Amino acid sequence: MKIKELTDFLHLTAPLKFQESYDNAGLIIGNENEEIKGVLICLDAIEEVIDEAIELGCNLVIAHHPIIFRGLKKLNGYTYIERVVIKAIKNDISIFAIHTNLDNVFISGVNTKIVEKLGLENTTLLAPKADTLFNGLPVGAGMIGMLKKPIETRYFLSFLKEKMELQVIKHTDLCKTHIHKVAVCGGSGSFLLADAKNQDADIFITSDFKYHEYFDAEKEIIIADIGHFESEKYTIELLYNLIINNFSTFAPHCTKVITNPIKYFQ
Q: Are residues 79 and 122 in the same domain?
A: no
Q: Are residues 30 and 142 in the same domain?
A: no
Q: What is the pTM of this model?
A: 0.95
Q: What's the pLDDT score for residue 107? A: 82
Q: Are residues 127 and 219 in the same domain?
A: yes
Q: Are residues 211 and 111 in the same domain?
A: yes
Q: What's the pLDDT score for residue 159? A: 98
Q: Are residues 94 and 118 in the same domain?
A: no
Q: What's the pLDDT score for residue 70? A: 82
| 206 exposure class (CB count in 10 Å sphere: 0-12, 13-18, 19+) | buried
235, part of any domain: no
Query: pLDDT tens, position by position, for the chain (266 residues)?
Result: 999 999 999 999 999 999 999 999 999 999 999 999 999 999 999 999 999 999 999 999 999 999 998 888 899 999 999 999 999 999 999 999 999 999 999 888 899 999 999 999 999 999 998 877 777 788 999 999 999 999 999 999 999 999 999 999 999 999 999 999 999 999 999 999 999 999 999 999 999 999 999 999 999 999 999 999 999 999 999 999 999 999 999 989 999 999 999 999 97
Q: Are residues 50 and 164 in the same domain?
A: no
CA distances from 235 to 55, 112, 130 (A): 23, 9, 26
Domain's final residue, options 50, 70, 102: 102
**Terminal Cα-to-Cα distance of the chain (whole angstroms):** 47
Domain hosting residue 164, numbered range = 104-228
Q: Are residues 27 and 47 in the same domain?
A: yes
222 close to 171: Cβ distance less than 8 angstroms: yes
Alpha carbons 211 and 194: distance in angstroms, whole number: 16
17, part of any domain: yes
Residue 175 β-bridge partners = none
Provide the Cα torsion 92, 253, 139, 200; round to 10°: -130
Q: Are residues 122 and 222 in the same domain?
A: yes
Q: Are residues 118 and 221 in the same domain?
A: yes
CATH of the domain at 118: 3.40.1390.30
Q: What's the pLDDT score for residue 132? A: 79
Provide the domain count of the chain. 2
Q: Are residues 49 and 109 in the same domain?
A: no
Provide the CB-side half-sphere exposure for 200 (13 A, CA).
2
Q: Are residues 66 and 119 in the same domain?
A: no
> What stretches of the chain show up as alpha helix (H) in DSSP?
3-13, 47-56, 80-90, 100-103, 110-118, 153-163, 193-198, 228-232, 235-244
